[in-house]
Amino acid sequence: MNLLRSTGVRVAFKWVFTALVIAAVLLVVDIEKLFVEIIRIPPSAVVVGLALGVIQVFLSAWRWRFTADLLGLPIPYTPAVREYYLATFANQVLPGGVLGDVNRALRHGADNNNRLTAAHGVAIERLSGQVVLAFVVAIGLAWLLFTGRIRGSNPAGFGSLEPLCWLLAGIGVSGGLLWVLARKRVRVRGYFGALRGDLARAFFSWPAFPIQVVTSLLVVASYLAVFLVLAVGMGYLVDLPSVAVVAALCSLLLLSMVVPMTVSGWGVREGAAAILWPLAGLPAEQGVALSVAYGALIFFSSLPGLLFLFSSPVRQC
C-alpha cells in the first residue's frame, strides 16, 4: 500500500510539474502570436508529420528486433512493431517517458523467463538512439556557435548565452545524479555489470555497431524531419541556412526531452524552445509553436498503440 501511495505521489507530482512548466512558458510568450503561429500549420504538413511518426515506430521496432536477436531473444517483426506502438503510446501518456519501455521489456521477457536480457535489449536499443542524438546535438550546437547563429544579445532580452548554458548544464547534472544514485544501489550496480557484456555483443561488436549507428541516425533524422515539415508548413524555412538553424535548434529540443521530469517532455521542450529561439534571433513564439505542434503530432501518431493495450505478451520466433 505504501509503495502504491508513493508511486501515485510521484506520478501526480510529474503531472503537476508539467502543468506548472507549461503555464510558466505561456507567461513569457505572447499567447495571441503563439496561437497565430500554430493555426498556420496546413493539413498537408500534419499528414506528412503523422506519416513520419509511423516511420519512426517501424524504424525503432526494427532496431529493437535487431538488438534482441543479437542477445538471443528473437522476436518477429510484426509483434515488435505492435509492442513498440504500445510502448510509445504509454510513454506519451505516463510521466517519465520510460514506463512504456519498461512494460515492453517485461512483456518480451515473459515468454522465455529471461526478463534481464529482455530489459538489456530495450535499454541498449534506447541507448543507441540517445548516443547518436547526443552526437547530432554536439554537431548542431558547434555549428550554431562557430557560425554566430546564436548571438549574445537578442530581441527577447537575454543578455548572454547563460540561459543555454543553464539548460545544457541542467541536463548534464540530471544525468550525472541519476548515474550516481544508480551506482549507490547494489542491485543496480549488478545490473550495469551484467549490461556491459550484452553491450559488447549488441552494440560494440561488428557489424552491430555500424548498423546500430545508421539505424539510430535514421530514427533521429525522422524526428527532425517532423520538425522541418512543420516549419516548412508554417513558412519558417526560406533558404538552406534557415533549414540548418531550425534543425540544430530542434535537436536541442529533442535532447531536452531526455530529462524524465514531465509527461512526454511537455513543458521542458517548450521551455527550451522559449529560450533557444530568441538566442538565435528568432521569435520565441515560433519555437514554442513548433514544439507544441511536434508534441501533438507525435501523440496522435502513437494512438495505434491503444489497439494493443490488452494484447498478449510477445512470443519468441
Measured torsion, CA atoms of residues 91, 96, 100, 105, in degrees rounded to the nearest 10: 150
- Residue 304: DSSP 8-state: G
CB 101 within 8 A of CB 115: no
| pLDDT greater at residue 12 or residue 28 | 28
Measured distance CA(84)–CA(79) in Å, rounded? 8
Amino acid at 125: E
Measured distance CA(30)–CA(124) in Å, rounded? 41
- Residue 313: DSSP 8-state: P
Q: Write out pLDDT tens, residues 163-210.
A: 545 555 555 555 555 545 545 554 455 556 667 888 888 898 889 999
How large a percentage of the chain has pLDDT more than 90?
38
Measured distance CA(290)–CA(109) in Å, rounded? 38
CB 97 within 8 A of CB 260: yes
Lowest mean pLDDT among 9-23, 52-66, 124-138, 273-287: 9-23
Own/partner pairs, 188-197, CB within 8 angstroms, 24+ separation: 191/116, 194/116, 194/120, 195/120, 195/123, 195/124
Tell me phi and psi for residue 73, to 5 degrees. Answer: -125, 70
CB 53 within 8 A of CB 297: yes
Please report the pLDDT score of residue 6 as a whole number: 53
CB 7 within 8 A of CB 252: no
CB 106 within 8 A of CB 118: yes
| pLDDT greater at residue 114 or residue 208 | 208
Closest CA to 69 of 25, 108, 17, 18: 108
In the numeric block, the cell 505516463 is attached to: 94
C-alpha cell at 306: 491503444
Mean pLDDT of the chain: 81
- Sequence ranges of the domains in the chain: 40-308
Please report the pLDDT score of residue 62 as a whole number: 96
Measured distance CA(140)–CA(280) in Å, rounded? 13
Amino acid at 242: S
Please determine, for residue 71, whether its predicted confidence score (pLDDT) is greater than 60: yes
Average pLDDT over residues 252-256: 90
| pLDDT greater at residue 3 or residue 192 | 192
Please determine, for residue 161, whether its predicted confidence score (pLDDT) is greater than 50: no
Measured distance CA(277)–CA(26) in Å, rounded? 15
The model's pTM: 0.83
For 38, the enclosing helix (H) or strand (E) is helix 31-39
Cα→Cα distances 226→51, 95, 202, 254, Å: 9, 23, 29, 12
Measured distance CA(50)–CA(44) in Å, rounded? 10
